[in-house]
């Protein structure tokens, strides 16, 4: 499947480049991640989307995650050859917990003239005000919440209005079908000896098999 998107006609100059940042553990990266990135790019007119695997996310025990070099390698394989998709290892290389606001500060320093957008699942918006420095986060980047059709749109709209009233900034809601794939389900299927074809890119499936990831006792 080719994941390509049209760039907005008012974008493209270096000074006004729009960059989306899609963070996550990517354990493993799967086709829904690629779909989220594509839909967010189309909705916001992004010039590129940067996939950013987490090293030590504050909401998870890093010891329970697959080694970062494997997760990073799988993401690189997943986006290889896709126009407008890049990969960053900033969070993996940075010591300590990976708070989104800190990552955005680094991205702002690296891209002072770009428009930044952080891309996340729709449910993340419901808890955005509980994240570290939400006001600062929204001053650094717009927030794109990608949600499944029919999954609490009114609730998301109310939360969006509340967030904008309290913190300002830019919050976009993007509907995206085909989001019923989860990394945990993929891990479960591999552990049970079941196939994952169609759930992850072929190169990622081959990498998982080659390195024996997610098998029982691995």
Cα gap 46→3, rounded to integer Å: 14
Q: Would you say residue 112 lies in a domain?
A: yes
The CATH number of the domain where 127 resides is what?
A: 3.40.50.620
Model's pTM, two decimal places? Answer: 0.89
Can you spell out the DSSP letters for 167-209? H-S-EEEEE-S-----HHHHHHHHHTT---BTTB-HHHHHHHH
What separation in angstroms does the CA of 178 have from each of 35, 149, 186, 206? 8, 9, 15, 22
Q: Would you say residue 142 lies in a domain?
A: yes
Q: Would you say residue 159 lies in a domain?
A: yes
Looking at residue 96, its pLDDT comes to 83
Q: Would you say residue 205 lies in a domain?
A: no
Q: Would you say residue 127 lies in a domain?
A: yes
- Torsion sign across C-alpha atoms 75, 81, 84, 89: positive
What separation in angstroms does the CA of 47 have from each of 7, 59, 104, 157? 6, 30, 17, 26
Q: Would you say residue 40 lies in a domain?
A: yes
Q: Would you say residue 38 lies in a domain?
A: yes
| Tens-binned pLDDT, residue by residue, of the chain (218 aa) | 333 333 332 333 356 799 999 999 999 999 999 999 999 999 999 999 999 999 888 877 777 899 999 999 999 999 999 999 999 999 999 888 889 999 999 999 999 999 999 999 999 999 999 999 999 999 999 999 999 887 778 999 999 999 999 999 999 999 987 778 999 999 999 999 999 999 999 999 999 999 999 997 55
Report cis status (omega within 30 of 0) of the bond before 142.
Answer: no
The answer to whether residues 55 and 27 touch, using CB atoms and an 8 Å cutoff, is no
Q: Would you say residue 213 lies in a domain?
A: no
**Tally of domains in the chain:** 1
Structural domain boundaries enclosing 84: 18-181
- Torsion sign across C-alpha atoms 38, 181, 77, 51: positive
């Amino acid at each position: 499947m080719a994941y390509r998107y049209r760039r907005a006609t008012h974008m493209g100059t270096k000074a006004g480049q729009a960059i989306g940042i899609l963070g996550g553990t990517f354990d493993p990266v799967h086709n829904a991640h690629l779909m989220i990135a594509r839909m967010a790019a189309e909705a916001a007119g992004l010039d590129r989307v940067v996939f950013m695997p987490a090293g030590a996310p504050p909401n998870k025990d890093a010891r329970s995650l697959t080694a970062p070099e494997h997760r990073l390698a799988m993401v690189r394989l997943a986006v290889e050859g896709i126009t407008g998709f890049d990969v960053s290892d900033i969070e993996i290389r940075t010591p300590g917990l990976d708070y989104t606001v800190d990552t955005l500060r680094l991205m702002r320093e690296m891209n002072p003239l770009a428009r930044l957008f952080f891309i996340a699942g729709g449910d993340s918006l419901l808890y955005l005000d509980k994240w570290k420095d939400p006001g600062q986060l929204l001053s650094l980047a717009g927030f794109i919440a990608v949600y499944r059709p029919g999954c609490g749109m009114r609730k998301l709209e109310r939360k969006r209005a509340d967030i904008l009233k309290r913190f300002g900034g830019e919050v976009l809601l993007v509907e995206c079908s085909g989001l019923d794939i989860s990394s945990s389900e993929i891990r479960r299927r591999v552990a049970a000896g079941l196939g994952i074809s169609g759930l992850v890119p072929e190169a990622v499936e081959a990498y998982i098999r080659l390195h024996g990831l997610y098998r029982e006792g691995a």
